[in-house]
């Protein structure tokens, strides 16, 4: 299961390392990447974990740098899985992770004009429980914002 | 055929007639300043294969990720929309089952205050 195509298209070296960490567990570990032991490494402040619930996904961990950028932590927040969108939304990425048990990567570049830009990259990976089902999705986000000096490190 | 990555894609599309827009290899949707769909290209109708039309505009502004939904960020989007300078490029890549497949979306200001959404999907046989 060569993943070079997927990994090579992840722009952020940090997110690429996050993906490879997950993949190394999948390929070389003792089992499927387990939610209880998967370690996002240095990206923990920019990472999140959401539990799969009957009608959506509930954040059980929300990194402090993500919370700082957003202005609030989403820990405990339910993302309802009732929208029809097939892509673009967090729900769709989560659903893809759960149903296909594969990672998803998204990048968005916002150009507001006048040199004001924001670039966001997000990777979402399936995390498994002892029953080997997808019980959680984990991910990390990198943000570069021209309006925030050093945002990539401060998000 | 127009280049999907052209910096002035919306302007180029607006210079075309509906039949020419329909003939492009990517889908095109136009929303007015209230977010209502005012144009839906034939390519988009054929390629999308699902019925998310009324909500497709919303997702890029409010639902890309909760991390994007703070007031300051929304304000910058709205300001760019008002100025007519909004340009968003979105890509999605799946691993394994969809290895190498990449969906690309562009959102650019329309001349009437709304926005254009352009979607380029991978060929089914890739």
All structural domains of chain A with their residue ranges: 4-154
For residue B53, tell me if it sits in a domain.
yes
Chain B residues within 8 A (CB-CB) of chain A?
50-52, 55-56, 59-60, 63-71, 73, 76-77, 79-80, 83, 85-100, 102-103, 105
In terms of pLDDT, which residue wins out, B54 or A139?
Answer: A139
For residue B76, tell me if it sits in a domain.
yes
Are B28 and B15 a contacting pair, CB within 8 Å? no
Query: Whole-model pTM?
Result: 0.77
Q: Is some CB atom of chain B closer than 8 A to the CB atom of A24?
A: no
Mean of pLDDT values over B9-20? 95
For residue B96, tell me if it sits in a domain.
yes
Residues A101-145: tens digit of each pLDDT:
888 888 888 899 989 998 888 899 999 998 888 999 999 999 888
B118 membership: H or E segment, kind and range:
strand B115-120
**How many domains in chain B?**
1
**DSSP code string of A68-103:** HHHTS--TT-EEE------SSSHHHHHHHHHHH---
Cβ-defined contact of B94 to A104 (cutoff 8 Å): yes
Position A61 confidence tier, pLDDT thresholds 50, 70, 90: very high
Nearest residue in B to A65, CA atom: B67
In the numeric block, the tokens 């722009």 are attached to A11
Cβ-defined contact of A90 to B65 (cutoff 8 Å): yes
Asked whether residue B94 carries a pLDDT value surpassing 70, the answer given is no
Q: Tell me which residue range forms the domain holding B41.
A: 9-120
**CATH, residue B90:** 3.30.450.20
Nearest residue in B to A46, CA atom: B67
Cβ-defined contact of B66 to A116 (cutoff 8 Å): no
Q: Which residues contact B55 (CB under 8 A, 6 or more apart)?
A: A83, A84, A85
Interface test with B, best of A86, A99, A118, A140 (most B CBs within 10 A): A86
For residue B4, tell me if it sits in a domain.
no
- For residue A151, give the 3-state DSSP assignment: helix
Cβ-defined contact of A106 to B91 (cutoff 8 Å): yes
In the numeric block, the tokens 């020419």 are attached to B20
Alpha helices in chain B, H assignment, sequence order: 9-14, 18-22, 42-48, 56-62, 71-83
Are A62 and A68 a contacting pair, CB within 8 Å? no
Give the one of A84, A108, A116 whose C-beta lies nearest to B55's C-beta. Answer: A84
The CATH number given to A4-154 is 3.30.450.20
């Amino acid at each position: 299961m060569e993943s070079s195509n997927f990994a090579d298209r992840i722009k952020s070296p940090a997110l690429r390392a996050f993906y490879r960490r997950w993949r190394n567990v999948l390929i070389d570990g003792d089992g499927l990447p387990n939610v209880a032991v998967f370690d996002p490494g240095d990206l923990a402040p920019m990472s999140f974990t959401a539990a799969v619930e009957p009608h959506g996904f509930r954040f059980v961990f929300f990194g402090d740098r993500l919370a700082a950028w957003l202005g609030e932590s989403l820990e405990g927040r339910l993302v309802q899985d009732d929208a029809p969108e097939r892509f673009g939304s967090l729900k769709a990425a989560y659903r893809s992770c759960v149903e296909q048990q594969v990672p998803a990567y998204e990048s968005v570049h916002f150009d507001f004009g006048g040199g004001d830009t924001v670039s966001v990259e997000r990777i979402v990976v399936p995390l498994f429980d002892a029953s080997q089902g997808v019980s959680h999705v984990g991910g990390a986000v990198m943000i570069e914002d021209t309006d925030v000096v050093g945002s990539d490190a401060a998000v | 055929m127009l280049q999907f990555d052209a910096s002035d894609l919306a302007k180029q599309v607006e210079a075309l007639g509906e039949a020419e827009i329909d003939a492009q290899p990517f889908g095109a949707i136009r929303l007015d300043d209230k977010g209502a769909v005012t144009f839906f290209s034939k390519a988009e109708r054929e390629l999308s294969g699902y019925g998310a039309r009324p909500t497709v505009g919303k997702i890029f502004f409010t639902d890309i990720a909760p991390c994007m939904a703070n007031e300051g960020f929304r304000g910058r989007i709205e300001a760019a929309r008002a100025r007519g300078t909004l340009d968003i490029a979105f890509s999605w890549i799946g691993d394994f089952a969809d290895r190498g497949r990449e969906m690309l979306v562009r959102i650019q200001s329309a001349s009437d205050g709304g926005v254009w959404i352009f979607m380029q999907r991978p060929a089914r046989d890739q």
